[in-house]
Amino acid sequence: MSIAICPGSFDPITLGHLNIIRRTSKIFDRVVVCVMHNSTKPSPMFTVEEKLDMVRRSVSRYPNVEVDTYDGLLAEYAKRYEGAVLVKGLRAASDFEYEFQMNLINKQINPQLETMFLTADGKYTFLSSSVVREMAFYGADLKGLVPNEIIDDIEKKAKLWRGRDGK
Ligand code: PNS
């Protein structure tokens, strides 16, 4: 059975992420979406539990996709699934530089681990979780950016953030 791991910080999950997950689910028998911590992004908008809940609701229509979380190194986590391949999306050359470095680090830790990249769908190359957070903060319409199932969650959290910042 072929297994893919789609890791990310998903703060929050976007339609760009979901597009990569859906396409991965057509190529692999089993897909594990893993919600992880990115130490270069220290102040997440959502807690791990909130992210897990939003990712679960977003992928519920895909029967071979499951959701997990891990607080540690991705290359260590991947050892749980024999032969698993990491699958990540690439939007631009800047993504490639970062992902190439991550791939080398992951290989140092777990030499068996392979990473495959899917190029982002053209209509999502501009999209990132940080764009969504910014749009939400200013009360913009989130339709077409994130799964419909989680728009309310983001709007509620953005309202709290605006209140905190006195806006
Ligand atoms: O969605 P993101 O923020 O681009 O995802 C990055 C993520 C979470 C996959 C990456 O930061 C990660 O692998 N975090 C786990 C810790 C780890 O293994 N870091 C790489 C070696 S330093």
Tens-digit pLDDT string for the chain (167 aa): 999 999 999 999 999 999 999 999 999 999 999 999 999 988 999 999 999 999 999 999 999 999 999 999 999 999 999 999 999 999 988 899 999 999 999 999 999 999 999 999 999 999 999 999 999 999 999 999 999 999 999 999 999 988 877 66
Q: Is 41 a catalytic residue?
A: yes
Residue with tokens 């102040």: 43
Nearest CA to ligand 1 atom 14: 38
Nearest Cα to Cα of residue 12 among 114, 126, 141, 157 = 157
What type of residue sits at position 24? T
CA distance 10 to 84: 20
Tens-place pLDDT, residues 35-71: 999 999 889 999 999 999 999 999 999 999 999 999 9
CA distance 47 to 52: 9
Domain boundaries, the chain: 3-164
Question: What is the reported pLDDT for 111?
Answer: 97
Question: What is the reported pLDDT for 163?
Answer: 84
Q: Is 129 a catalytic residue?
A: yes
Q: Provide the 10 A C-beta neighbour count for residue 20.
A: 24
- For residue 74, the CA-to-ligand 1 centroid distance in Å is 7
- Is CATH 3.40.718.10 correct for 3-164? no
- For residue 36, the CA-to-ligand 1 centroid distance in Å is 7
pTM of the full structure: 0.96
Q: Is 17 a catalytic residue?
A: yes
